[in-house]
Amino acid sequence: MDLSIIIPSFNERDNIVPIVERIHTALRDEPIRYEIWFVDDSTDDTVDVLSEMEAVDKQVHVYHRDSERGLASAVVAGFARARGEYLIVMDADLQHPPELLPEIYRNLAAGSDIVIPSRFVSGGSDGGLGPLRKLVSWVARVIGQLALRRLRKISDCTSGYFGVNRNVVDGAQLDPIGWKILIEVLVKGRYKTVHEIPYEFLARDAGESKMSMREQWNYFRHLFRLVSQSPADRRFFLFCAIGASGVVVNLVVLSILKYALRVPDTSASIIASLVAMLSNYIWNDQITWRASGQRKWNIKLPLFIGISLVGIALTTLVMDGFRAVGVAVPIGQVIGILVSTVWSYMMNNRLTWKD
Ligand code: GDD
Ligand code: MN
């Protein structure tokens, strides 16, 4: 078997016959042996339509789940049943054009480990989403890319349409939450090359989207789990959490100095900041970069302090820049803090705790 097409379906009765027809038409002139696997969690009569289809079409297989739901876990169940050398995942609702299958297949056969039809490379479009979903989808992608480095170079990491060489997922411990199976594959799969090709994500003809607030929440749970399982991605979050703890240390020390010890305000403020910086240094040294860094503390500590001071200057600079174009000071300050956090993380990673 050359190719297995895996289609998660949930209450898609009117789309089953058209999608199978269009897949056959798209692959009619290709010398490819393929099968179609529906992994169905439907609660309506979609399963009857699927059973009829399975009875008359030898290339169609159906796995119906009664006790479980979830797009991503359905795809994992499909991976386990598929026999093809290459695996392509697509939605049942024809928003993912089957006409692209030969091109995805050709790229896989030519050696790309993962092939992603993308809405966001030149020639692609995501016309099938309304303006609000577009915004939500953009924010979700940016957050995913900030959190997980393996997503950074991928323009459409939340695509539901993609192909993989089966070696990418065979043996990988796939354990996704919710919808985004491609993110799970990109983070945990074994691969070298990813190729994106443009496509037009069209509007649905029949039925409606099953996207919900619950799935958005699941997306964050999923990202959180992936980050906590990956040492390199975890580091940045530890750094941020320790930075936040530094604010607490700063305020506690300030209060003690001012109210209990009657230290003058300016001195109290400076001492509190220095203590917080030292506390941040120790935590980062013991936790964030515990496993890395060959340098001695008398090199690391001054580097850390230098980077932190430049970070403060950077925050002010960014805030000032935004203020000049009319942005409120607290908002500019928050953006400044974000910029300087990313910057100081990168500098500490490259200099202070350099391997
Ligand atoms: N088995 C199963 N179980 N399938 C499901 C479930 C479920 O719980 N929930 C949804 N599906 C199926 C739908 O039947 C459809 O075939 C596919 O998953 C996608 O669901 P839609 O409801 O059509 O999602 P969408 O169009 O809003 O978003 C899709 O496209 C985006 C762009 O590629 C999803 O694939 C998104 O993840 C993707 O970003
Ligand atoms: Mn859809």
Contact at 8 Å (CB) between 40 and 46?
Answer: yes
Atom of ligand 1 nearest to the CA of 11: 14
Atom of ligand 1 nearest to the CA of 208: 22
- Distance (Å, whole) CA 163 – CA 349: 35
Ligand 1 centroid vs 208 CA: distance in angstroms?
Answer: 10
Q: pLDDT tens digits, residue range 147-200?
A: 999 999 999 999 999 999 999 999 999 999 999 999 999 999 999 999 999 999
- Distance (Å, whole) CA 197 – CA 124: 8
Q: Which residue of 186, 210, 218 sits with most ligand 1 atoms within 8 Å of its CB, as the best mutation to test the pocket?
A: 210
Ligand 2 centroid vs 211 CA: distance in angstroms?
Answer: 8
R_g of the chain, CA atoms, integer Å: 26
Contact at 8 Å (CB) between 101 and 24?
Answer: no
H helices of the chain, in order, are 16-27, 46-56, 71-81, 101-109, 131-147, 166-169, 181-188, 213-229, 231-255, 265-283, 297-324, 329-347
- Distance (Å, whole) CA 226 – CA 108: 26
Residues with CB under 6 A from ligand 1: 8-10, 12, 39-41, 69-71, 74, 91-93, 95, 158-161, 179, 201, 209-211
Q: Does the predicted TM-score (pTM) go above 0.90?
A: no
Going by CA atoms, what residue is nearest to atom 34 of ligand 1? 160
| Architecture (CATH level 2) of domain 3-230 | Alpha-Beta Complex (3.90)
Contact at 8 Å (CB) between 276 and 249?
Answer: yes
Domain map (residue ranges) of the chain: 3-230, 233-352
Query: Coil, strand or helix: which one is 7?
Result: strand
Ligand 2 centroid vs 330 CA: distance in angstroms?
Answer: 40
Ligand 1 centroid vs 92 CA: distance in angstroms?
Answer: 8
DSSP output for 184-220: HHHHHS--S-EEEEE-B-PPPSSS-----HHHHHHHH
Q: CA separation (Å) from 80 to 9, 39, 87, 283?
A: 17, 11, 11, 43
Going by CA atoms, what residue is nearest to atom 13 of ligand 1? 9
Ligand 1 centroid vs 76 CA: distance in angstroms?
Answer: 14
Tens digit of pLDDT at every position of the chain (355 positions):
999 999 999 999 999 999 999 999 999 999 999 999 999 999 999 999 999 999 999 999 999 999 999 999 999 999 999 999 999 999 999 999 999 999 999 999 999 999 999 999 999 998 878 888 888 899 999 999 989 999 999 999 999 999 999 999 999 999 999 999 999 999 999 999 999 999 999 988 888 888 889 999 999 999 999 999 988 889 999 999 999 999 999 999 999 999 999 999 999 999 999 999 999 999 999 999 998 878 999 999 999 999 999 999 999 999 999 999 999 999 999 999 999 999 999 999 999 998 7
Cross-sheet strand order for the sheet of 60-64: 60-64, 34-40, 3-9, 86-89, 162-165, 114-118, 194-198
